Amino acid sequence: MSPEDGRVPVFEIQDLHVWFDTGSTRRHVSEVHIVKGISLSVAPGERLGLVGESGCGKTTTILASLGLLPPSASVSGRILLEGKDILAEGEKTVGPHRWNDIAMVFQGAMNAFNPVKTVGWQIAEALRVHHTVEPRQRRARVAELLELVGISGENADRFPHEFSGGMKQRAVIAMALACNPKVLLADEPTTALDVVVQNQILALLTKLSEELDLALILVTHDLAVVAQTCERAAVMLEGRIVEQGPMTELYRHPQHSYTRQLFESTPDVFAAPVAAHEIAPVATPLLEVADLVVSYGGRRSWLAARRNRPSNDTLAVDGISLRVQPSEMLALVGQSGCGKTSTVQAILGMVPTSGGSIKVAGTEVTGLRRAQWRPLRRRVQMIYQDPYESLDIRFRVRQTLEEPLRIHGIGKSAKERTRIISEALERVDMTPPERYLGRYPHELSGGQRQRVAIAASLVLDPTLLLADEPVSMLDVSVRSGVLDLLDNLRRDLGMGILMITHDLSTAANYADRIAVMNQGHIVEQGPAWDVVNAPTHDYTKTLLAAVPSPDPEVRRVG
């Protein structure tokens, strides 16, 4: 379990168990065993990845290492810092090591800063609390720390809300480094960030760990991130570490079936198949978007609407053209804020357009009124990103699937509706349908929920599916299942699919064509393989350079 080359570990977790009390009464104790005997170690300058899906206990492990668990938790095991057990006497022994020796970068850096204090104040606070430097040198030290993570020192007097997401994450790292810790625990430090920014943050963490001889534990659900950053990784499943070893070993010869499953579900942009299949153009494509313009927020003030010309800086979508053929999957790839969501919203008629045309199966839909849109809605259906959010949790599966039928008056009898619903459930591999009809969303897994959402679209027998990041909120191991399902729908039923994604790897592996979007424009569009392997536009090249590969040999970070 110790580092490969016999370096002495600076930080060790030994046989850590964590239980949570879930409302014990006097008569009986009810608790859940979240972490079941974890052991890890890292040496100075070493980077260890802790990989697992949501609920596997990885965050709990990290919080336990710093003694930050809630009072409902019970802990057993040892946390050794340079050989000394810091958990031995609870708060008393762990307290002095916080930030001085072990610092932490939390999940969701967006909320890690107190919104009413300046960033500099909050970094300086660590110095004040721990008397790290002389009071007079604090300002200089804060500036130095910010420079270290690539932020100009003058920004110290700004408030968190004045920082961009990437800057905030950098500042959080600067704060973590304030007291020269020996160990840095980073919990999903890049999850909410765009891939280009993610790449920069990972490069920064790698650089810092090397320069400062910092032991880094990187907790993430994303194998590719670990592959690009860490030398070793531990794969965690249901509170246990199922496999641990050098990253290259894990990638080349995964021992545990779960590790293999994780790798299989992590698409590699550079291993995408060459030209999925040829699609012959047809006279009327399912979707034809020409020179579409959408201004921000959708609704314009009546004044702007009267003048009938949106000013240039308020355009979310600025003249894009797309085309989706039957049984074709087109991936619209871009970073958050690039306008891809506005595009789909406009196609669905949920936001007004400011120019251009959208034709659904040959019918112009811009400017249609709500009632005129209704019959068309059967043909165009949308799959949303977050299956935990997209279903009304008060509705059983049957009601969820019945609602679109009722809205469009399909199925005369209850029997006929049941038949349609059952067919749709079978289509999304939820068999036998009877097992699921009576369930509420919270009785389904994330992947099943997404399948129900897809089935709710299929009951209307649509010809065009719009999928907005259909797997980004799902656990890695179920992603490929949902993507394969979409793939089958277009192959078997001839549906056209427009998939929005931030993830070039997914796009490259599933789509026929890729359109890369940036700042409201489509900068490049073409067959998937060509876009990925022979990009012509600089922006596409930047994106590609930032995409992490699960193959540790294909190092791009740094």
Partner 1 sequence: MSNTSIDAGELVPEVEVSHGLWVTLRAVLRQPSAIVGLVIVGLFVISAVFAPLLEPYSTTNASCGVFDAPSAAHWFGCDDGGIDVLSLVIIGGRVSMLVGLFATVIAMVLGAGVGLLSGYFGGATDTILMRITDYFLVIPQIVLMIVIAAVWGPSLSHVVIVIGILMWTGTARVIRAQVKSLRERVYIKRVESLGASHTRIIVRHILPQVGPLLVANAVLAITVAIFTETALAFLGLSDPTAITWGTIMEHAFDRAAISAGAWWAVVPAGMAVALFTVGCYLIGRSIEDSLNPRLKVSYLSPRSWAMRPLVGRGPDAL
Partner 2 sequence: MRKSGYLWKRSVFALVTIYVAITLNFVLFRVLPGSAISRISKVPNASPALKHALEVQFGLDKSTWQQYVLYLQQLLHGNMGISYQNMQPVTDNLKSALLATLPMVTIGTVLALVIGIAVGVLSAVRRGTVTDHATTNVAVLFYAFPTQFLGMMMLIFAASFLPSAGMTDPFAIYASWTDEAGDVIRHMILPVLTLVLTLFAENTLIVRSAMLETLGEDYVLTARAKGVPRRKIVRSYALRNAMLPTITLVALSLGGIVTGAILIEVIFSWPGIGRALYQAVLARDYPMLQGGFLIITVVVVVFNFIADLLYFRFDPRITT
Contacting positions for partner 2 (CB under 8 A): 66, 68, 95-96, 98-100, 103-104, 106, 108, 111-117, 125-126, 129-130, 159, 161, 175
> Which partner, partner 1, partner 2, none, binds residue 108 by CB below 5 to 8 Å per kind?
partner 2
C-beta closer to partner 1: residue 68 or 275: 68
Nearest approach in angstroms of CB 266 to partner 2 is 28
Q: Which does 126 bind (CB under 5 to 8 A by kind): partner 1, partner 2, none?
A: partner 2
How many binding residues for partner 1 (CB under 8 A)?
Answer: 52
Among residues 345, 344, 367, the alpha carbon closest in space to that of 355 is found at: 367
Number of separate helices (H) and strands (E) present in the chain: 20, 20
How far is 302 from 390, CA to CA, in rounded Å?
32
CA distances from 99 to 105, 122, 308 (A): 11, 13, 56
Asked if 392 is part of the footprint of partner 1 (rule: CB under 8 A), the reply reads yes
Q: Is 131 in the site for partner 1 (CB under 8 A)?
A: no
Least separation in angstroms between residue 248's CB and partner 1 is 23
Amino acid at 533: N
Q: With respect to partner 2, which residue has the nearer C-beta, 108 or 558?
A: 108
Distances (CA, A) of 87 to 2, 94, 200, 228, 363: 20, 6, 34, 32, 68
Residues 298 to 337 in contact with partner 1, rule: CB under 8 A = 299, 302
Residues 6 or more apart from 139 whose CB is under 8 A from it? 120, 124, 156
CA 331 to each of CA 205, 324, 491, 543: distance values in angstroms, whole numbers, following the listed order: 31, 10, 16, 15
191 CB-contact burial (10 Å; exposed 0-12 / middle 13-18 / buried 19+) = middle
Residue 90 binds which entry of partner 1, partner 2, none, CB below 5-8 Å type-dependent: partner 1
Subset of residues 357 to 376 that bind partner 1, contact rule: CB under 8 A: 370, 373-374
Piece of the chain touching partner 1 by CB under 8 A; list 206-214, 263-271, 392-400, 431-439: 392-400
Q: Is the peptide bond before 3 cis (omega within 30 degrees of 0)?
A: no
Candidate list 385, 450, 505, 509; residue touching partner 1; CB under 8 A: 385
Q: Give the sign of the dihedral formed by CA 498, CA 501, CA 504, CA 505.
A: negative
* Sheet strands side by side (includes 240-246): 102-105, 183-187, 215-220, 47-51, 232-237, 240-246
CB of 182 to partner 1, least distance (A): 20
Site for partner 1 in 417-476 (CB under 8 A): 440, 442, 453, 456, 460
| Beta strand pairing call for 102-105 and 183-187 | parallel
Binding status of residue 553 toward partner 1 by CB under 8 A: no
Q: Using the rule CB under 8 A, is 224 a contact of partner 1?
A: no
In the complex, least distance from residue 427 CB atom to partner 1, rounded to whole angstroms: 18
C-beta separation of 183 from 217 below 8 A: yes
Long-range contacts of 239-246 (CB under 8 A, 24+ apart): 239/33, 239/34, 239/35, 239/36, 239/38, 239/56, 239/57, 240/36, 240/37, 240/38, 241/38, 241/39, 241/40, 244/1, 244/40, 246/4
Q: Which of 378, 396, 439, 537 binds partner 1 (CB under 8 A)?
A: 378
Residue 130 binding partner 1, by CB under 8 A: no
Q: Which among partner 2, partner 1, none contacts residue 385 (Cβ within 5 to 8 A by kind)? A: partner 1
Binding of partner 1 by 415 (CB under 8 A): no
Task: Mark 34-73 with x for binding to partner 1 (rule: CB under 8 A) and - for no binding.
Answer: ---x-x---------------------------xxxxxxx
Residues of this chain that bind partner 1 (CB under 8 A): 1, 14-15, 17, 19, 37, 39, 67-78, 87, 89-91, 299, 302, 348, 350, 370, 373-374, 377-378, 381-382, 384-386, 389-394, 403-404, 407-408, 440, 442, 453, 456, 460
